[in-house]
């Protein structure tokens, strides 16, 4: 009986305890990522947080690595200071790392340096954890939404997720409607109405559901990722009413999908950046065209979270490809 119980306990642990790389573009000291790290760890997962030492919002998939072994400027909130190493970990937690790079390169740094050097065995390094494979990369939750394909060329949160999918590792980009840009030392708490805690709880719920259905396969099909956008919740929602937003399946493009554009203000004789719906983003070429866009969900509903699947195969579908091929036929060999 005891042997059976131990076997069952081991199987449950192997199913439920997954290896997760957690990153973001707001920096490794942001409240959102620290709250999510705690929630995923408390849920039993082995979480390796590796994120930029400084704010890297808007850097998309840009791939930067440190130019020097020491920081030339202070990190975000001055938590890591000029002159300290360009990468390192919390003194009291080997599972929390900073890197003087971008979100996309932070993922690669985790895979190609941190894990092989510090989590590949227990010999001589006094580690209690061995990471033999990475089950999932979680990027975020970002401080602010990342909606529609226009933000694939902007968002560092999505950049980290796509960088992971390129490498054959499933990834989810989470973004929240809160924009507190707060330091975890000042803001991390257990308040159930704090947006960062609500987002963290929902991240655990989402990845847990995927892991429950994983079986012997990858948690997501090869070459695909998920883009998730949370609404305003807790103290930032109307009357603190949204604490458990519903998951709504959506698509990246469609009605109200938007991207950055340039606007000339004649009154001030200045050039401004605006975000507007664009014709090319409203058309549906791939996927389920009946789904609402994630932009529509966040703009027109309350307490609902958009869940959109993306693919890193940027090739046009067969119909579009053949249409253009026909146009080019006279010059093609």
CATH number of residue 153's parent domain: 3.40.1210.10
Single pTM value for the model: 0.91
* Residue 122 confidence (pLDDT): 61
Using one digit for the tens of pLDDT, what is the confidence trace for 76-131?
A: 999 999 999 999 999 999 999 999 999 999 999 999 999 999 998 765 455 457 89
**Separation of alpha carbons 280 and 277, rounded Å:** 9
Q: Does 266 reside within a domain?
A: no
Using one digit for the tens of pLDDT, what is the confidence trace for 132-189?
A: 899 999 999 999 999 988 787 889 999 999 999 999 999 999 999 987 789 999 999 9
**Both tokens assigned to 172:** 């989810």
**Separation of alpha carbons 278 and 333, rounded Å:** 35
Per-residue pLDDT band for 333 (boundaries 50, 70, 90) equals confident
Which residue of the set 57, 108, 175, 182 is catalytic? 175
The residue length of the chain stands at 333
In eight-state DSSP terms, residue 112 is I
Q: Does 210 reside within a domain?
A: yes
Question: How many domains are contained in the chain?
Answer: 1
Mean of pLDDT values over 273-302: 92
Q: Does 10 reside within a domain?
A: no
**Separation of alpha carbons 277 and 254, rounded Å:** 9
Q: Does 27 reside within a domain?
A: yes
Q: Does 39 reside within a domain?
A: yes
Q: What residues make up the domain containing 110?
A: 19-256+282-321
* Residue 123 confidence (pLDDT): 52
Per-residue pLDDT band for 13 (boundaries 50, 70, 90) equals very low
Least confident interval from 2-16, 205-219, 235-249, 267-281: 2-16
* Residue 6 confidence (pLDDT): 38
Sorted by sequence, the CB contacts under 8 Å of residue 301 that are 6+ apart come out as 231, 248
Q: Does 333 reside within a domain?
A: no
Least confident interval from 52-61, 83-92, 120-129, 198-207: 120-129
Q: Does 13 reside within a domain?
A: no
* Residue 128 confidence (pLDDT): 58
* Residue 164 confidence (pLDDT): 97
Percent of the chain with pLDDT over 70: 92
**Separation of alpha carbons 137 and 155, rounded Å:** 16
* Residue 4 confidence (pLDDT): 42
Mean of pLDDT values over 48-75: 94
Query: Known catalytic residue: 105?
Result: no
Q: Does 223 reside within a domain?
A: yes
31, 183 in Cβ contact below 8 A? yes
């Amino acid at each position: 009986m005891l042997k059976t119980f131990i076997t069952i306990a081991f199987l449950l642990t192997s199913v439920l305890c997954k290896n997760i790389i957690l990153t973001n573009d707001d920096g490794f000291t942001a409240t959102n990522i620290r709250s999510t790290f705690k929630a995923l760890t408390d849920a039993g997962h082995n979480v390796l947080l590796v994120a930029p030492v400084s704010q890297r919002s808007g850097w998309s998939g840009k791939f930067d690595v440190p130019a020097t072994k020491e920081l030339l400027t202070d990190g975000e909130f001055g938590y890591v200071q000029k002159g300290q190493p360009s990468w390192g970990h919390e003194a009291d937690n080997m599972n929390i790392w900073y890197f003087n790079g971008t979100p996309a390169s932070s993922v690669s740094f985790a895979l190609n340096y941190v894990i092989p050097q510090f989590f590949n065995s227990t010999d001589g390094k006094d580690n209690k954890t061995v990471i033999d494979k990475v089950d999932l990369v979680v990027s975020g939750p970002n401080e602010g939404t990342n909606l529609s394909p226009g933000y694939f060329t902007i968002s560092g949160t999505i950049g980290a997720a796509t960088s992971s999918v390129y490498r054959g590792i499933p990834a989810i980009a989470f973004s929240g409607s809160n924009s507190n840009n707060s330091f975890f030392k000042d803001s991390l708490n257990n308040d159930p109405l704090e947006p960062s805690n609500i987002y963290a709880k929902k991240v655990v719920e989402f990845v847990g559901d995927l892991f429950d259905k994983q079986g012997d396969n990858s948690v997501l099909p090869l070459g695909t990722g998920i883009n998730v956008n949370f609404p305003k919740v807790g103290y930032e929602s109307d009357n603190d009413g949204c604490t458990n937003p519903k998951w709504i399946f959506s698509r990246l493009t469609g009605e109200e999908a938007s991207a950055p554009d340039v606007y000339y203000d004649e009154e001030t004789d200045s050039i401004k950046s605006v975000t507007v719906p664009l014709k090319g983003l409203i058309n549906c070429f791939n996927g389920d065209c009946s789904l609402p866009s994630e932009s529509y969900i966040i703009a027109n509903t309350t307490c609902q979270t958009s869940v959109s699947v993306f693919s890193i195969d940027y090739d046009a579908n067969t119909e579009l490809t053949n249409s253009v091929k026909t146009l080019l036929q006279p010059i093609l060999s």
